[in-house]
Homo-oligomer: A and B are copies of this chain.
Amino acid sequence: MTDHHIALIPGDGIGAEVLPPAQQVLDAVGARHGFAFTYTSYDWSCERYVREGAMMPEDGLDQLRDKDAILLGAVGYPGVPDHVSLWGLLIPIRRSFRQYVNLRPIRVFEGVASPLRAAAAGEVDFVVVRENVEGEYSEIGGRLNRGFPEEMAVQESVFTRGGVTRVLDYAFELAAQRGRKLTSATKSNGIVHTLPFWDELVAERGAVHPQVAWDQEHIDALAAKFVLDPARFDVVVASNLFGDILSDLAAAVAGSIGIAPAANLNPEREFPSMFEPVHGSAPDIAGRGVANPLGAIWSAAMMLDHLGHPEAAKEVTDAIAAVLAKTDVRTPDLGGSATTTEFAEKLLELL
């Protein structure tokens, strides 16, 4: 019996409410398919920051290093500045473990109303592949003449050949397995150093993957097309910032941020990968037991896939589709009145 050792980081707010249902689902499919999970839980959070002055202990990354994967709830809480919670936990994990692919699938499910008139269930089904460790989110930069009229801030975007190539190859390979269509997000008409380089590398990697038809769109036009014609996309590859914007936009187009999952992948498996719902810690509803568990459950399904259990992963996403299509049980964010537990139990029944 394969045993997978998972690091659980519930984090803040509803993070702690959505991870237990995800664990139940993991244990259920594991039992059926003959593998099991052991979990180690970490209380790393804004609460810990307030108490001890750091989001995680100094050897935090070392504690995670030997795990098979990390399942994270959500971080961020009022009173603790965002850049503290993110740069103290989420971003160091992404970077130290070379999780250079951030993968965000988007689907319009039957039973979930997209805000778009024309986005029919089943038709919108694509993946955003986001570069996750370099690009516009760089620590290089600073401030000059603080407080004076001449004050300025600069920030360097850094795109490396190696860093861009590896995420493009991941995206092209994914496209080859899916619909053989890839769209690259750019803005090389306005941002004239980094993004022309990105475009060149897309063309270069495109030549190496001739089975995939690719095109590119400037980010402004692409954002508009996500709204006007989301069904036309299959795999969208984007830089760190553009991928962040496009994946949130796509989740909104699909009808609920509460369902969307994300995988922070180290495809080479040198280090653990991290799986997290796209939603935040939602302080407004935390503690009431009504958070949507599907984002965490779908993230757990992506983890199953990464750990080598694609059929088990598919059973979980099928159960997500079934609970949405066939029942009225759902949490308030989807227009229902079920609790987190009731919603998760209905899904477990259908699994």
Chain B residues in 8 Å Cβ range of A36: none
Name the residue of chain B whose CB is nearest to the CB of A250: B224
Would you give the shortest CB distance from A297 to chain B, in whole angstroms? 21
Would you give the shortest CB distance from A31 to chain B, in whole angstroms? 37
Chain B residues in 8 Å Cβ range of A219: 244-245
Would you give the shortest CB distance from A13 to chain B, in whole angstroms? 15
Count the A residues whose beta carbon is within 8 Å of the partner chain — how many?
63
Cβ contacts A133-147/B at 8 Å (1 or 0 each) = 000110101110100
Chain B residues in 8 Å Cβ range of A158: 152-154
Contact A153 B193 (CB under 8 A): yes
| Copies of this protein chain in the complex | 2
Contact B153 A197 (CB under 8 A): yes
Alpha-carbon gap, A249 to B246, bound state (A): 11
Contact A137 B190 (CB under 8 A): yes
Alpha-carbon gap, A118 to B244, bound state (A): 25
**A45-53, A81-89, A268-276: which lies at the interface:** A81-89
Chain B residues in 8 Å Cβ range of A162: 149
Alpha-carbon gap, A249 to B242, bound state (A): 14
Cβ contacts A217-252/B at 8 Å (1 or 0 each) = 011110111011000000000001100110111011
Given A83-B192, A152-B161: 16 more A-B contacts, CB < 8 Å: A82-B188, A82-B189, A86-B190, A115-B118, A141-B156, A143-B193, A145-B161, A150-B160, A151-B161, A154-B157, A155-B157, A155-B194, A157-B157, A219-B244, A224-B248, A225-B252
